[in-house]
């Protein structure tokens, strides 16, 4: 199909669609614009509300993550301290073993 024919068919289809839309439009132009405006406002309010909800959810997740990291840090610090204490006890017991081993 030649390029000019495609363009003509498009314009013809657009014109028919426009005419049918105007003939069967349920509301006047002013009512339609008001309807579109109200729906746009509803959409804007919805997006604003969802944005705030997502922000609160993200803040909650961040706070829970910080708490989990804090708990893990405390657990790790306790484990390191227990390891140090066990090492100190092992070192303290070692000279006593040498002394008892030397006596036998």
Better-scored residue on pLDDT, 58 or 18: 58
| Arithmetic mean of pLDDT, 78-103 | 80
Tokens (6 digits) for 93 = 């017991």
- Unique residue bearing structure tokens 């746009």: 40
Cα separation, 11 vs 4, whole angstroms: 11
What is the distance of C-alpha 32 from the center of its chain? 36
Helix, strand, coil percentages for the chain (3-state, nearest 5): 90, 0, 10
Are the beta carbons of 20 and 12 closer than 8 angstroms? no
- The yes-or-no verdict on residue 20 having pLDDT over 70 is yes
Better-scored residue on pLDDT, 64 or 23: 64
Cα separation, 28 vs 34, whole angstroms: 10
| Arithmetic mean of pLDDT, 75-101 | 84
| Mean pLDDT value across the chain | 83
């Amino acid at each position: 199909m030649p390029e000019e024919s495609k363009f003509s068919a498009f314009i013809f289809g657009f014109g028919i669609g426009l005419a049918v839309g105007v003939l069967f439009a349920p509301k006047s132009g002013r009512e339609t614009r008001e309807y579109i405006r109200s729906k746009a406002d509803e959409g804007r309010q919805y997006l604003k509300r969802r944005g705030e909800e997502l922000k609160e959810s993200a803040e909650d997740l961040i706070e829970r993550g910080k708490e989990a990291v804090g708990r893990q840090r405390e657990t790790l610090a306790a484990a390191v301290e227990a390891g140090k204490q066990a090492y100190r006890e092992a070192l303290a017991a070692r000279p006593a073993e040498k002394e008892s081993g030397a006596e036998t």
